[in-house]
């Protein structure tokens, strides 16, 4: 999408359609011509000084020819300033970002276009686009003169290892006249936003997602019982197809009602992300928290691709999509993956120390599968998480010990655990929390630095299969003992 840059002081158009921009409106001349005189270059100032000196000498010596030369030297820079001052607002600039959403550690390309909509050619142009330093150095381009009605296009690349939303702009344009007498700077007010989302890893198809319907409901059974067109009337809205008017309901309620198709029951998955600040140690793209965010993005995308209704939930009780959706879950919108990724692009640490808000958000809902990514926990936090198992058909927890991501070397500096001589032992508090979750029926996978999510995903499937085998073997053993 192109974002034509509007002049400073004029209306910005950050979402204008692509294509050559229309001639910009004349902005207010802040400071007037006197301010433009400050753009005189050394050459221009020298010409003015030489012209004034020649005029004084001509007056003293009585040389009219020298006076003409002095006037020419003095007036030429002023004419250049006047022409450049009037034509600088006839140069339009636009920016196009492709793509506007990229995964971390991936590149995007920014295309800049300058159009000369005046009747005279421009002089030398210098473009500078202001970008955050995390995306790379600020790009500068020098362009030759642009003919009347012509344009020039340049591009540059941006890249970030850190997720987030980064503004691009404003675009600054420095113009000079063909004689090099004056340089004026023009700033455009339009911005674009580059969204760097967490890196999404493809996950293998595993069996643990079969619990996503919850409470033993079969998805096949749900689809069989649901009609192809479960009719629920609602009020008519502008643009509704008149063929869907439900006349019986219209007569009953006294207003125009239309049929609304109710989608059959969909399998559900809640992705719980622990964002507590004290639960993670360290920062940067290789930290435990960033691993958890990327994993939550990967699981959410994977489950959406498999046709599940997915909700992202944090320890603060924040839910995406919000409660206005069907039980807070994502519907059939193809943009839901983008909404979840955009949310995870800017998610940060919370200041809370409890997971009770997440429990309150789940305790009144009928959940399917819960996939949780948890940081450091003690017994109190483990108790809150363990109670969530009662509201789910299946529950998988990936527990990250942040101390395993960073350690202290001999000099006392924080270094990646691989540079500190091996991973430290899991603290006793984390071991007790993991044991409590398993006793409550959670499938728990402990994640260490360097572990890949696809392997951990398959490991969770193996753990779940083993637990089911043990559960089925227990009743058989008891029946044999009874005989």
Q: Are 195 and 342 in contact (CB under 8 A)?
A: yes
Q: Does 372 fall in a domain?
A: yes
Write down the residue that tokens 């125009």 correspond to.
256
215 and 184 in a common domain: no
Q: What is the CATH number of the domain that holds 407?
A: 3.40.50
pLDDT at 2: 44
Instruction: Give me the residue label for tokens 């158009």.
Output: 13
- CA angle in degrees (0–180, nearest 5) for 368-370-295: 135
Across the chain, which has 483 residues, the per-10-residue mean pLDDT values are 40 34 39 77 93 93 91 92 79 92 95 90 88 92 90 95 94 87 87 95 79 43 37 70 82 80 69 93 87 96 89 91 54 73 95 86 72 92 88 89 62 49 57 91 92 94 81 51 44
Range of the domain at 349: 207-220+266-482
Instruction: Tell whether 93 and 105 lie within a shared domain.
Output: yes
Question: Is there a domain that residue 141 lies in?
Answer: yes
**Can you tell me the distance from the alpha carbon of 86 to that of 281, in angstroms, rounded to the nearest whole number?**
57
Q: What is the pLDDT of residue 75?
A: 93
Q: Please report whether residue 225 resides in a domain.
A: no
DSSP 97-126: EE-SEEETTEEEEEEEEEEE-SSS----EE
Question: Does one domain contain both 234 and 280?
Answer: no
Q: Which long-range contacts (CB under 8 A, 24 or more apart) does 67-74 make?
A: 73/47, 73/48, 74/47, 74/48, 74/50
> How many residues are listed for the chain in this entry?
483
The three-class DSSP label of residue 466 is helix
Q: Are 86 and 139 in contact (CB under 8 A)?
A: no
Query: Are the beta carbons of 360 and 415 closer than 8 angstroms?
Result: no
Q: How many CB atoms lie within 10 A of CB 446?
A: 17
Consecutive H or E run containing 58: helix 42-61
Q: What is the DSSP letter of 447?
A: E
Q: Tell me if 356 sits within 8 A of 380, measured CB to CB.
A: no
* 439 Cβ neighbours under 8 A, 6+ residues apart: 386
Total domains present in the chain? 3
Helix (H, G, I), strand (E, B) or coil at 395: strand
C-alpha to C-alpha distance for 473 and 104, rounded to whole angstroms: 46
Question: Running DSSP on this structure, what letter comes out for residue 145?
Answer: -
| Cα distances (Å, whole numbers) of residue 253 to 111, 233, 240, 439 | 56, 10, 18, 54
Torsion angle defined by CA atoms of residues 152, 158, 164 and 165, in that order, rounded to the nearest 10 degrees: -10
What tokens does 243 get? 């063929």
Examine the domain organization and report whether 417 and 273 are in the same domain: yes
Domain co-membership, 191 together with 291: no
In a domain, 160, yes or no: yes
- Of 94, 79, 77, 129, the closest CA to residue 24 belongs to 94
Q: Do 458 and 380 fall into the same domain?
A: yes
Burial of 255 (0-12, 13-18, 19+ CB in 10 A): exposed
- 154, part of any domain: yes
Cα–Cα distance measured from residue 145 to residue 83, given in angstroms and rounded to the nearest whole number: 15
- Judge if 475 and 430 occupy the same domain: yes
d(CA 160, CA 193): 13
387 and 462 both lie in a single domain: yes
Instruction: Check residue 386 and report its DSSP letter.
Output: H
Count of alpha carbons within 13 angstroms of residue 128, beta-carbon side: 11
Strands 2-5, 91-98: pairing kind? antiparallel
CATH of the domain at 55: 2.60.40.10
**Same-domain status, 189 and 69:** yes
On whether residue 25 sits in a domain, the answer given is: no
- Identify which of 8, 295, 342, 42 has the alpha carbon closest to the alpha carbon of residue 195: 342
Residues 94, 235: one domain?
A: no
Look up the pTM and report it: 0.73
Name 187's bridge partners. 172
Same-domain status, 371 and 435: yes
* 24 lies in some domain: no
Whether residue 239 is found in the same domain as residue 271: no
Which stretches within 347-452 are classed as H helix?
Answer: 356-363, 379-388, 428-439
Does any domain span residue 27? no
Q: Element (H or E) spanning 465, and its range? A: helix 453-482
Helices within 88-225 (DSSP H only): 219-225
- Rg from Cα positions in the chain: 33
Q: Which two tokens stand for residue 383?
A: 């108790």
Nearest to 425 by CA among 448, 442, 455: 448
pLDDT at 107: 95
């Amino acid at each position: 999408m192109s974002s034509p840059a509007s002049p400073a002081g004029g209306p910005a158009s950050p979402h204008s359609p692509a294509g050559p921009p229309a001639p910009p409106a004349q902005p207010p001349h802040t400071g007037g011509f006197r301010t433009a005189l400050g753009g005189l270059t050394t050459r221009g100032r020298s010409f003015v000084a030489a012209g004034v000196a020649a005029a004084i000498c001509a007056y003293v010596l009585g040389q009219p020819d020298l006076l003409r030369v002095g006037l020419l030297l003095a007036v030429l820079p002023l004419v250049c300033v006047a022409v450049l001052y009037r034509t600088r607002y006839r140069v339009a600039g636009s920016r196009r970002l492709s793509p506007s959403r990229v995964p971390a550690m991936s590149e995007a390309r920014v295309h800049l276009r300058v159009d000369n909509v005046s009747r005279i050619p421009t002089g030398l142009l210098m473009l500078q686009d202001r970008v955050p330093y995390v995306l790379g150095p600020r790009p500068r381009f020098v362009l030759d003169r642009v003919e009347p009605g012509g344009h020039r296009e340049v591009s540059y690349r941006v890249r970030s290892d850190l997720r987030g939303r980064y503004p691009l702009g404003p675009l600054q344009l420095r113009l000079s006249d063909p004689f090099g007498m004056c340089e004026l700077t023009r700033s455009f007010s339009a911005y674009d936003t580059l969204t760097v989302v967490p890196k999404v890893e493809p996950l293998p198809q595993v069996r643990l997602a079969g619990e996503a319907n919850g409470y033993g409901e079969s998805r096949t059974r749900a689809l069989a019982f649901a009609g192809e067109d479960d009719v629920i009337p609602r009020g008519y809205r502008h643009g509704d197809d008149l063929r869907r008017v439900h006349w019986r309901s219209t007569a009953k309620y006294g207003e125009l009602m239309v049929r609304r198709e109710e989608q059959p029951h969909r399998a559900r998955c809640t992705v719980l992300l622990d964002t507590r600040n004290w639960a993670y140690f360290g920062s940067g793209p290789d930290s435990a928290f960033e691993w958890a965010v990327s994993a939550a993005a990967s699981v959410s995308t994977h489950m959406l691709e498999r046709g599940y209704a997915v909700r992202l939930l944090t320890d603060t009780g924040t839910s995406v999509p919000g409660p206005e959706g069907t039980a807070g879950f994502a519907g059939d919108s193809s943009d839901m993956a983008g909404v979840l990724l955009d949310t995870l692009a800017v998610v940060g640490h919370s200041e809370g120390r409890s997971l009770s808000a997440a429990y309150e958000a789940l305790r009144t809902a009928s959940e399917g599968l819960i996939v949780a990514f948890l940081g450091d926990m003690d017994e109190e936090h483990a108790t809150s998480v363990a109670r969530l198992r009662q509201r789910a058909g299946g529950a998988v927890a990936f527990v990250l010990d942040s101390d395993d991501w960073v350690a202290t070397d001999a000099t006392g500096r924080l270094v990646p655990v691989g540079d500190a001589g091996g991973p430290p032992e899991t603290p006793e508090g984390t071991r007790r929390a993991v044991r409590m979750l398993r006793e409550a029926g959670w499938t728990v996978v402990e994640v260490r630095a360097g572990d890949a999510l696809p392997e951990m995903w398959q490991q969770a499937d193996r753990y779940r299969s083993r637990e089911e085998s043990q559960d089925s073997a227990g009743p058989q053993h008891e029946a044999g003992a009874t005989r």
